[in-house]
Amino acid sequence: MIFGGDCNVPQGDRVFKQIENRRIDSFDGGARGWCNTIADSIPLLRIDQIWTSEGVRCVNAYVRKAAKTDHKMYIAEFGWTE
């Protein structure tokens, strides 16, 4: 399973305690840099996130500028664990 989006809370928020023992934050597995997504001009927080279930691992994650939004785009690439 892979799910993600604008969570409207920053990384480390206690709301993630509900899923962190069953899901893996893609940032922890393969991120490059800070991967902060809000606000585009001065990204201070990573409110856009992608989480996976076991068996899926993040091999690369990064941010890029995106058109017509105040967020940076969070991009993650995945592979299967053995």
Of the candidates 30, 37, 39, which has an alpha carbon nearest to the alpha carbon of residue 58?
30
Give the pLDDT of residue 28.
Answer: 87
Give the pLDDT of residue 31.
Answer: 85
CA pair distance 67, 19, nearest whole angstrom: 31
Give the pLDDT of residue 67.
Answer: 93
Which residue range forms the structural domain that includes residue 40?
2-80
In the chain (82 residues long), the average pLDDT of successive 10-residue segments reads 91 87 87 89 92 92 93 94 77
Give the pLDDT of residue 33.
Answer: 84
Count of the separate structural domains present in the chain: 1
CA pair distance 73, 82, nearest whole angstrom: 29
Residue 60, classed as helix, strand or coil, is strand
